[in-house]
């Protein structure tokens, strides 16, 4: 599966998240400018979910799913991402 990542971080808003579409029909991630590591993932079928990316103690990139847009609003996703970053940081 091909993943498109919008390299430019976006100030995600509720309106943008509701209207987000996949780029070129591929799984697309839209990184948030306000909360480092948080991104909105949009599948080719239009399913939207939150993801948090981080590096573990070995320097490997990891991804954690935070839930679907329908179940987790933007403000809550930002809070979860901040909490996960603190948890990961405390383990390092």
pLDDT score of 77 more than 80: yes
Q: Please answer whether residues 50 and 69 qualify as being in contact, where contact means their C-beta atoms are separated by less than 8 angstroms.
A: yes
The rounded distance, in Å, linking the Cα atoms of 65 and 82 is 14
Q: Does this model's pTM top 0.85?
A: yes
| Strands of 27-31's sheet in order across | 3-5, 27-31, 38-42, 48-55, 61-68
User: Span 42-70, mean pLDDT?
Assistant: 94
């Amino acid at each position: 599966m091909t993943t498109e990542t919008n390299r430019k971080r976006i100030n995600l808003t509720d309106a943008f998240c509701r209207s987000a579409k996949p780029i070129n029909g591929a799984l697309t991630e839209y990184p948030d400018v306000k909360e480092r590591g948080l991104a909105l993932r949009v599948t080719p079928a239009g399913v939207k979910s939150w993801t948090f990316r981080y590096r573990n103690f070995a320097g490997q990139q990891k991804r954690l799913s935070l839930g679907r847009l329908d179940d987790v609003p933007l403000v809550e996703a930002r809070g979860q991402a901040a909490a996960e970053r603190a948890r990961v940081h405390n383990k390092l």
